[in-house]
Amino acid sequence: MQPGADTSIVANPSVLSAFHDVLDQFERRQTTDDNFTIRVTDRRTNEQLQIYELTDLRQTHKQGSSVEWRTVDERRREVTRTLVDKFERQGVPLKDITVRWGRANQINESLERNRPYYPYEVRLAQSLDLSLLSTQISTVETFNRDDLVSPAGAKSRYQMLPWILRRSGVHEYELPTTAGSRITVEEALHPLLTMEPAFLLLKGYVNAVGHEIPGLSAYHTGPGNIYMLYRKYFTESTYYNNTSNVVDAYIWALTDGFNTVSEQTSFGSFSRGYVPSLHGALEARVRTPLDHSEAIQTARVQLRPGTRISLRKILTVLDTTDQSFDWGPAGNESSTYARFRALNKHFDLPKSSNGEVPHSGNVQLRSTTEGKGVRFFLPPRAPQALRASGGDVLDPDFTFRFNSSTFGPPTEAQRTRWDEQYDRLVEDIQRFGFTPENRDRLVNLYEKFKALAKSTPSRYRQRQLAIIRTHRRIWRSNPWEKLSEITMQMTGRDPVQAQPLTEFSFSEDALSDLK
């Protein structure tokens, strides 16, 4: 698998060259320019106008003093206004003054924060036939911080909207304690609970828009905006011809066509910089060697139906057995309770003053609550230790182990002819295959995938169903209808009578996903 997504299908070399210029700018921003650097360029010629450095704050940081990046950005914002005014007075049009703030410090901190989880992102990307650009979504979205919430309400390091999280089985609920209080469990705060849903969502977007490069952008800006770019490419670009594809359209929108699309759509500077930011973050990761053996090893578990047990009882067994346990990064904590608390950061457990389980943290664990599975993490050998002690409370059917074989690729035996047909459909979509005929193919394949997931409920079949369900939902939207109409006109395809569609309505949440 190539680290970056394939651009070899791009038909126009001049537009591709301009795209590489943008990638180079963001590579410098993420790998070379630190958080105390401001770089100003003239977008017309890529001429560097000035590099401004906050040397005082940089020196403070180098001396080991705490520096808040928000404070640094406030200073950079003030300096940026001065620099923009300066070059505008010198005759550079305002729209052509490009200012890039270095992010190398934050990127490096982010990559270190993701060290225990990154190998799983790589394997998941490989199993879904995605490039390594996909592994940098959490870096660009949140610098791998799980607690950030966007103005739109998106949560987790992967920034998914609440309704998408719920649909993906990532929930929020409360559990009682022996003190009579309740603690909140917010699964969006744990990357091993949100990682797979995020990548499956991305893969659905990739398939729906025809290629990974615009698909990555769709994860940020919404598939509806990407469809708008394609429409503008048809009507506003001089590059379209019968050899063009969706990557041509997307790269045109980031380069020669950016003024057009930014003035007429909500695809602005942040959207334009998303894929280049992924590229820059990936380059930073490539330059930082990573030992995949450092990946966290753990077991995600759930109690047997109808079973209840206190956290204190589980941890007492682990404390009194003669076995040792690998808690991963949480192993540095001073007590078993503190290790459990660090490993299960989606549980809002209180700190302990003496290392023992406090009454307000002694959670009454159960299999489900309000129909939602209560999932938590233990060291890899802990389930066997509990079973050996007579506490056979964990459901083996719901135990999922994170180790060197997790997220492996599908076997030949798992793949069916329907999977191959879906691959061919996505290849056809790449060449502006947004036609009613292809939607009929998609609907039929969705029904096949649904039946396969029911008859063979393997993880692979469940993943494939989740991907095609996202794809189908997007292709049943108004933005797709508008794109399909102009696609039929521009490509000269004969109109095809689409089969009737049912359930052609969306909630407010679903519509917000299309943006």
* Structure confidence at residue 514 as a pLDDT band (50, 70, 90): very low
The answer to whether the CB of 461 falls within 8 A of the CB of 453 is yes
Structure tokens at 336: 């078993």
Task: Find the mean pLDDT for residues 180-198.
Answer: 98
> Residue 269 carries which side chain, given as an amino acid letter?
S
Of 353, 347, 279, nearest to 311 (Cα)? 347
Structure tokens at 130: 């995605």
The pLDDT of residue 498 = 38
The pLDDT of residue 293 = 81
Task: Find the mean pLDDT for residues 155-178.
Answer: 97
Task: Determine the length of the chain.
Answer: 515
The pLDDT of residue 500 = 36
Structure tokens at 254: 């980031």
The pLDDT of residue 497 = 41
The pLDDT of residue 18 = 86
Structure tokens at 442: 């998609």
Report the Cα–Cα distance between both ends of the chain, in Å, rounded.
31
The arrangement of secondary structure in 110-165+193-287, i.e. its CATH architecture, is Orthogonal Bundle (1.10)
Write the DSSP symbol of residue 68: -
Which stretches does DSSP call E strand in 111-251? 172-176, 182-186
- C-alpha span between 201 and 410 (Å, rounded): 18
Q: Which residue has the higher pLDDT, 268 or 303?
A: 303
Write the DSSP symbol of residue 187: G
Q: Is the pLDDT of residue 1 over 80?
A: no
Could you tell me what percentage of the chain is helix, strand and coil, using 3-state DSSP and rounding each to the nearest 5? 55, 10, 35
| pLDDT, tens digit, 9 for 90 and up, residues 304-342 | 999 999 999 999 999 999 899 999 999 999 999 999 999
* Structure confidence at residue 265 as a pLDDT band (50, 70, 90): confident
Of 268, 350, 280, nearest to 30 (Cα)? 280
Structure tokens at 265: 């759509």
Of 312, 225, 307, 299, nearest to 268 (Cα)? 225
The pLDDT of residue 8 = 59
- C-alpha span between 135 and 107 (Å, rounded): 13
Residues contacting residue 50 through CB under 8 Å, at least 6 positions apart: 39, 40, 83, 87
Write the DSSP symbol of residue 185: E
User: Is residue 120 classed exposed, middle or buried when 0-12, 13-18 and 19+ CB atoms within 10 A define those classes?
Assistant: buried
Of 124, 6, 122, nearest to 409 (Cα)? 124
| pLDDT, tens digit, 9 for 90 and up, residues 284-301 | 999 987 787 889 999 999
The answer to whether the CB of 32 falls within 8 A of the CB of 104 is yes
The pLDDT of residue 388 = 93
Task: Find the mean pLDDT for residues 39-56.
Answer: 95
Which residue matches tokens 């589980």?
314
Which stretches does DSSP call E strand in 214-354? 298-301, 308-310
The pLDDT of residue 68 = 95
User: Is residue 72 classed exposed, middle or buried when 0-12, 13-18 and 19+ CB atoms within 10 A define those classes?
Assistant: buried
Say whether 506 sits in a helix, a strand or coil. coil
For the chain, which residues make up each domain, given as ranges?
Answer: 34-101, 110-165+193-287, 173-189+296-402, 412-491
- C-alpha span between 352 and 362 (Å, rounded): 11
The pLDDT of residue 461 = 98
Q: Half-sphere exposure (CA, 13 Å, Cβ side) for 495?
A: 4
Most confident of 40-49, 84-93, 292-301: 84-93
The pLDDT of residue 140 = 98
Please state, for a pLDDT cut of 70, what percent of the chain lies above it: 93
| pLDDT, tens digit, 9 for 90 and up, residues 412-449 | 999 999 999 999 999 999 999 999 999 999 999 999 99
Find how far residue 147's CA is from the centre of its chain. 15
The pLDDT of residue 4 = 60
Q: Which residue has the higher pLDDT, 4 or 454?
A: 454
What integer best gives the mean pLDDT of the chain? 92
Residues contacting residue 215 through CB under 8 Å, at least 6 positions apart: 202, 203, 205, 206, 207, 208, 209
Of 109, 139, 106, 105, nearest to 121 (Cα)? 139
Which stretches does DSSP call E strand in 108-218? 172-176, 182-186
| pLDDT, tens digit, 9 for 90 and up, residues 363-376 | 999 999 999 999 99
Say whether 12 sits in a helix, a strand or coil. coil
Of 438, 1, 10, 506, nearest to 208 (Cα)? 438
Structure tokens at 234: 């048809």
Task: Find the mean pLDDT for residues 202-219.
Answer: 98
Find how far residue 216's CA is from the centre of its chain. 9
The pLDDT of residue 86 = 98
- Bridge partners of 173, per DSSP, are 185
Q: What angle do CA 122, 127, 128 make, to 5 degrees?
A: 100
Structure tokens at 171: 């929930």
Q: 2-20 burial, b if ≥16 CB within 10 A, otherwise e?
A: eebbebeebbbeebbebbb
Structure tokens at 257: 């066509």
